[in-house]
Amino acid sequence: MAISYVIASVATRHCERKRGNLLYHPLASVATRSPTVVHPPPFTTNQVVMCAGISFYLDKINPHELDRFFTPEEFAKQRKGDIIQTFFWQEHPFLPVAEADGVKLYPWGNRDAGIKLPKTGWAKIESVQDGRWDWLAPQAVNIPSVMGYEKKKWFRTPDGVKGIKVRFHNTTRVYLLTAKASQVFLEYTGHDRMPVGKIIYLKNER
């Protein structure tokens, strides 16, 4: 079955769950537990991971967008009801970006030594502010995630997280923006960098 057909069916069911001005939120009933996730194989890069995965609503994207990044088998594995998970370690990592004409999917960072872009999936906000990314004319973007994932810990991102979109010749990539971690995030994940955006922690993970 084509991924685009499945997404269209999910979007229809999601819309049917509207009641008045309230929209059903599948995470509302699981605020105290983490969604299931297929954990990665041993990481083969020396990069420092800062937020290894996110999840977002399927109905926010064009039904055909995921065909560029997932096989039907991969889609079935990463789909969790009305939500899809994307991780930097998967074969074709990607991030959703909210744009004027809807949510579009772009490759997440760069793992290809043959492409002259920073070989990472993340950009430190301090580096961007200091002008170290200026040669790529970075554009600030909003990544409409509902949850983030780091070191086997999920956390909510109700307003999405921030990123930058860059283009070099004919190659466009999106990097997830990070900042120095708060003490709470450091204790929660053990990492000293965190995504830029509002974070709500799951009770059973703390």
Walk me through the domains of the chain, giving residue ranges and CATH numbers: 3-31+49-205 (3.90.1680)
Cβ contacts of 134 within 8 Å, gap of 6 or more: none
Specify whether the CB–CB gap between 199 and 156 falls below 8 A.
yes
Strands 171-180 and 122-124: parallel
Residues of the chain with pLDDT under 70: 1-50, 204-206
Place of tokens 């703390």: 206
Dihedral (CA of 5, 161, 203, 29) sign: negative
- The tens digit of pLDDT for each residue in 102-139 reads 899 999 999 999 999 999 999 999 999 999 999 999 99
Confidence (pLDDT) at 28? 30
Residue type, 113: A
Global confidence as pTM: 0.78
- SS3 state at 184: helix
CA angle 160, 157, 191 (to 5 degrees): 115
Q: Which two tokens stand for residue 73?
A: 């088998």
